[in-house]
Amino acid sequence: MNKNLSGKVALVTGGSRGLGAATAAALAEQGADVAITYVASEEKAFSVVSALVNKGVRAIAIKTDQGDPDGAELLIREVKEKLGKLDILVNNAAVALQGKNIDAPDIDNAAMDRQWAINTMGVIANIRAAVKVLPEGGRIISVGSGLGTRVAFPGTTDYAASKAAIVAYSKGAARDLGARGITVNVVQAGLMDTDMASESKDKLPPIIMESHAIRRYVTVEEVAAAIVFLAGPDASSITGSVIDVNGGFTA
Ligand SMILES: NC(=O)c1ccc[n+]([C@@H]2O[C@H](COP(=O)([O-])OP(=O)(O)OC[C@H]3O[C@@H](n4cnc5c(N)ncnc54)[C@H](OP(=O)(O)O)[C@@H]3O)[C@@H](O)[C@H]2O)c1
């Protein structure tokens, strides 16, 4: 059966768990071949790959550190070598260092800088490397956060800003790449019950759930569905946009 993304090759960074794994699965459901990246969780990455292959698509896992400025070129080259091309880039990998105000005496600025390197400069490096190979009609979708629009809690400054920067970069890239039919968008997720959320759960104020109109976690499948829509043919006129899948966090 011909599916929406049959014949397409997608790269999902941070596909070993959480939203990245759900997005890789949702893209494969639509027929895309999928490369995922991971930095540490080799076993989980291989198990995601097996599940993707069981859906009848080609799938590979690539170990790479998104905080390494030289990693992006090598990553895109490897996807091209192993899967033949790249049509869809999903920038999902990120870290979330939250819980300390910027004037906390023990704030770890080196760790904050590494967060910027992964969440912002790593994403930009992936986009810069991908635009060299993306064809007409290519897609770039980056995962942001509701905190990129509404910084509702103290202790989230660097993380929120690292995500907000991606919005402006994506809008600019949409302008630069529009003539090639390449769309560039951001999907801003709300709180999802992944490892990332559980790592910061005790440090975040309890009102965080109340700040989401739906009063529950957003599921990874709900966010993945928006990403898959943006990756597909029906979204060809959506570019430079920010789609909030955040349960009303910014309502
Ligand atoms: N969870 C939430 O509540 C929430 C809310 C809003 C937005 N988001 C955003 O949603 C996206 C997915 O988050 P998640 O909750 O699914 O996160 P997660 O469960 O912590 O998974 C993070 C993924 O990123 C990979 N990764 C981390 N650092 C990396 C690095 N230096 N290089 C390459 N890969 C790296 C991890 O690989 P390993 O498994 O190898 O470590 C893993 O696959 C992120 O962009 C996050 O900022 C999350």
Share above pLDDT 90 across residues of the chain, in percent, rounded to a whole number: 91
Pocket of ligand 1 (CB under 6 A): 13-20, 37-41, 44, 64-67, 92-96, 118, 143, 145, 189, 191-192, 194-197
Assigned domain for 126 exists = yes
128 lies in which domain range?
9-245
Tokens of 182: 């390449």
Q: In this structure, which residue's CA is closest to atom 37 in ligand 1?
A: 38
Give the sheet arrangement for strand 33-38, strand by strand: 59-63, 33-38, 9-12, 88-91, 139-145, 183-189, 242-245
CA 223–ligand 1 middle distance (angstroms): 13
Nearest to 163 by CA among 221, 116, 197, 106: 116
Assigned domain for 94 exists = yes
Report the CATH number that the domain containing residue 114 is assigned in CATH: 3.40.50.720
Q: Among 17-31, 34-48, 204-218, 237-251, where is mean pLDDT lowest?
A: 204-218
Assigned domain for 1 exists = no
Tokens of 131: 């635009």
pLDDT tens for residues 116-159?
Answer: 999 999 999 999 999 999 999 999 999 999 999 999 989 999 99
Cβ(170)–Cβ(184) under 8 Å? yes
DSSP H or E stretch at residue 132 = none
Assigned domain for 165 exists = yes
Is 159 annotated as catalytic? yes
Task: State pTM to two decimals.
Answer: 0.97
Q: How far is CA 44 from each of CA 47, 57, 169, rounded to the nearest angstrom?
A: 5, 18, 31
